[in-house]
Structure formats: structure tokens, C-alpha cells
Amino acid sequence: MATETTLEITLEVARYRPGVDTEPTLQSYQVPLREHWAILDGLTYVKDHLDGTLSFRWSCRMGICGSCGMTVNGEPQLSCATFLTDYAPGPIRVEPLRNFPVVRDLVVDIDDFMTKLPKVTPWLVREVQSPVEDGEYLQTPEELDEYQQYSMCINCMLCYSACPVYSLEPDFLGPAAIALAQRYNLDSRDEGADERRDVLSSPEGIWACTFVGECSAVCPKGVDPAGAIQRYKLTAATESIKELLMPRSRSRR
Amino acid sequence: MSVYQRPIHLLWWLERRAYVLFVLRELSSVFVAWFVVFLLLLVNAISDGAASYQRFVDWSGQWWVVAINVIAMVFVLLHVVTWFGLAPRAMAIKVRGRRVPARQVVAAHYLAWLVLSAVVAWLVLR
Amino acid sequence: MNRRSPEPFLWMLFSSGGMVAALMVPILLFLFGIAIPLDLWSPSHDHLLAVLRNPLTRLVLFGLCALALFHWAHRFRYTLYDGLQLKRYAVPIVVLCYGGAVVGSVIAAGLLLTV
């Protein structure tokens, strides 16, 4: 496709070499501007043909693994789902995800999220597991509807990158973890809501959120973490008031 | 491991339009508080008698007081629009087992707002 | 965490305040802050006093004032924490915001009871 390769676009990529650089610097690369190329394809072209030292994370290239989140022209994006042509004539600034420590170039340290996620028990909790012979736990379409959108989360952390509260308060549990807690809380098969409550309604949980709403705006999968947090605030506040009025009614689990 | 931590600017919210809008939305609360002060001054003036009330109306007719109130009005309307807009995301309202669509929740808020405003206006102006 | 945290209650006050402020402040502010000062309408003092003497009016106005002040207190607290990164002064900020709301509510109650 000789005609296509004549068109090019500039990628300004943040480079950071640990132990050498004190802060990232932008390096420009000319990459072919092809119609079906995502930012990730541009970066792969750089690594294959222009500069093998460029480091970035990716896996599935189809918006499901959540590995390739980056800051594109200041916005958190999945680099596999963001196309070069949408930014033509460029240049396109590609930086690592904000609010995470940068390990190298476009690679960030995601340990903080990985330690927070299991704290909300993001799996189905049953007090008594019914025996396999009893069959599946049945669920109506309406019950599925309650939590389905939250189950679309791919842990890409774009929401953390967009959240100013998380940047100011690194202890904040954060959008995805709380949305995933709600994904199980709202599941008719789950009985773990009480177990999750301590973590969720701690000062580092829902109460730190000020409903900026950018987590939901940047989510590539249409999850609404901001809404999940507000809904849980209402639940937690109602429960606290109930407990204050009727201190004995709380179940002793 | 030496990692790079991006510093946070003091006025970080100037970095994105959505953040600016968020801060303006939060600042609307200052004008809500101003309104309470203004309302209490009004209540005090009305209960002090006709002359006192007239003095309050004259004072509130000065250009700078009207200017503050016009600015307050803009911020309060920002509060209304953002508050009603976010309401359906904070509450999942169900009628006969079905989730009420977000648009209807928002519409119900505006309807209540119109009705209440009409009642207040009627009470004050009749 | 401690289940005695005041956050749920403060948030409840904040959100009820946000709701009543959204529903009632625009019309009241328009009438008394803009329309009446600019002489678009001039309701008589007698009429306003009569409306204000109604216990229901006073109850509603008290609820509006107190809740709207707690709404301000909560939002302004977080605006100072996040917007200006002043969380290290959390104690004085909490005292200023919620203390202000309490004092304002007491003043409102005093004024409305003595109409």
C-alpha cells in the first residue's frame, strides 16, 4: 500500500529511563497514518522499526485485557481502541497513565490497585454453599440487569487515572474497586454485602469520593463507577441511620 | 526501584475542563450559603416592621447587591442542573419491580421544581 | 473502620440540603434578590409578614436554612481539602464548616421563632 505509507503522523512519546532520567521527556517518532491503526499499532511500529528500547504494556489488542491504558493528548484511553486518524494531522502526545508511578516509558506500577482490589471481596460470597446436585443458582433477567454493567469492568485503571481524589489521596479505594464491590453486592446470588461494608464505608472508601464523575466519563466499557459509589453512599447512610434508630436490629454475622 | 511520580499542581483542576466544571459546581455551595444569609436578613427585616423592610429593599436594590445575587443565581442554577442531572445515578428507583429510566427521574425532579417554584411565587406575590 | 463514623450522617444532611436548595433557592433568590429589589414586583410588608407568621412557612424556612447550610459545610470542606489541598488543616476546616452550619441554624431558629 505505497500510497498509504506516504501519509505520516507524529507520535510524541513520553520516555523515562529509571535511574538515568529524573523526569520523562518527550521523544517524537514519525509513524504511518493508516486508517485502521490504533495508537498501539503506532507504538508497535516504533518498537519494531524505529526504536526497540521503547517500553509499553499490551496484550489482547481488542479492548478486553485492560493492559494498554495510556494518556493520549491528556485523556486516559485504551491505546488499542483509540485511532490515529482521529487525531490527524497530529502530533499525538502519548504519556503513561496519570496517578500511577512510572516504572519506565509508558509502563506504570499498578501494585496499589492490585492490593486494593481483593480488599472488597470481588467474588460471590455464600454463607452456605448449596451442593452441586442442587444445580445452578438461578437468576432472572431483571436480577442480572441489576449488576451487569459493573461486571463489564476490565481493570484497565483508566478511572483511577482520571480521578483527582485518587491522585490527592492515594489511600482512596478508588472507582473500579468500589464498582466491582457493587457488582457483587447487587448480585442476587451474593451474600457478602455485610462483609464488604467495613471496607467500603471506611473514610478511604466511598466517603472520600466527591462525585467528580470523570471515572465514568473515561470508562471504555460504559461502567458507571461514580454512580455505583453514590448509590452505595445512599445505602450506607440509610443503614447507619437505621442502626442509630434501632441499634438491635443489625444482624450479627 | 526508582520510579517517577508526577507532581500535583496546587490548582490541578485547571488541567481539564471537566475538573473546572466540578470545582465551579462545588463552589455553588458558597452561593447557597450566601442565600441563607440574605434570606435571614430579609426575615429579620420583615419581622422588624414596614420601615425596616423598606430599608432592606432599598439596600438590596443597590447595584452591587443585585450583582452578587445575579452571580449567585447563575451558580445556583448550575447547582440545580448538575444536582438533578446526577440524581438518577445516585438512586435506583423502582416501580413495580422495574427500574425507572434515568430521563424520567430527571423529568420528575424538574416537574417538582416547577410546581414548588409556582407555589412559592404564588404565596409571595398573590 | 469505626461504625460510629459521622460521615453517613453528614452526607445525608449534605444531600438533603442539596435537594431542598435545588428545589427552593432559585425561585426565592429570583424573587427577593433580583425581582423585588429591581421593582418588578412590590409585595406589601403586611402580606409578607402574614406569610411569615404562618408556622408552616417558618418550619419550611428553618428546614431550608439549616439543611442548605449543612450542604454548604460539607461541600466547602471537601473543596478546601481537594481543590486547595488543605487536608492537613482538617480540624480547623471541620470546625469552621460544620460549626458555621450549626451556628447559622441556631440563628435561623432564633430569627424565625421571634417573627
Q: Read off the CATH number of the domain in which C63 is found.
A: 1.20.1300.10
Q: How far is B104 from chain C (nearest CA, A)?
A: 17
For residue B86, tell me if it sits in a domain.
Answer: no
B positions 25-44 inside 8 Å of C (CB): 26-27, 29-30, 32-33, 35-40, 42-44
- Number of domains observed in the structure of chain C: 1
Q: Is the same domain home to B46 and B103?
A: no
B positions 91-120 inside 8 Å of C (CB): 109, 112-113, 116-117, 120
Cβ neighbours of residue A69 closer than 8 Å, sequence gap 6 or more: A76, A77, A78, A79, A97, A156, A157, A158, A161
Q: At C109, list the grid cell.
A: 431558629
**pTM for the full predicted model:** 0.91
Q: Is the same domain home to B76 and B100?
A: no
For residue B55, tell me if it sits in a domain.
Answer: yes
- Number of domains observed in the structure of chain A: 2
Q: Is the same domain home to B98 and B74?
A: no
Question: From the list A165, A201, A239, which residue is nearest C1 (CB)?
Answer: A201
Enclosing domain of residue C100: 14-113
Please indicate whether, in this complex, the C-beta atoms of B79 and C104 are within 8 angstroms of each other: no
Enclosing domain of residue A96: 2-108
Q: Is the same domain home to A221 and A122?
A: yes
Q: Is the same domain home to B11 and B37?
A: yes
Q: At A243, list the grid cell.
A: 442502626
C69 lies within 8 A of chain B by CB: yes
ipTM: 0.94
Q: Is the same domain home to A70 and A158?
A: no
Q: Is the same domain home to B71 and B110?
A: no
Please indicate whether, in this complex, the C-beta atoms of A202 and C85 are within 8 angstroms of each other: no
Q: Read off the CATH number of the domain in which B26 is found.
A: 1.20.1300.10
Q: Is the same domain home to B53 and B114?
A: no
For residue A76, tell me if it sits in a domain.
Answer: yes
For residue A251, tell me if it sits in a domain.
Answer: no
- Number of domains observed in the structure of chain B: 2
C23 lies within 8 A of chain B by CB: yes
Over its length of 253 residues, how does chain A's per-residue pLDDT go in tens digits?
A: 455 446 899 999 999 999 899 999 999 999 999 999 999 999 999 999 999 999 999 999 999 999 999 999 999 999 999 999 999 888 999 999 999 999 999 999 999 999 999 999 999 999 888 888 988 899 999 899 999 999 999 999 999 999 999 999 999 999 999 999 999 999 999 999 999 999 999 889 999 999 999 999 999 999 999 999 999 999 999 988 888 888 765 554 4
Enclosing domain of residue B99: 91-126
Q: Is the same domain home to A90 and A121?
A: no
Dump pLDDT digits (tens) for A216-234.
999 999 999 999 999 999 9
B5 lies within 8 A of chain A by CB: yes
Decide: helix, strand or coil at residue A29.
Answer: strand
Q: Which chains touch B (3 or more CB pairs under 8 A)?
A: A, C
Extract the runs of DSSP E, i.e. beta strands, from chain B.
94-95, 98-99
Q: Is the same domain home to A64 and A187?
A: no
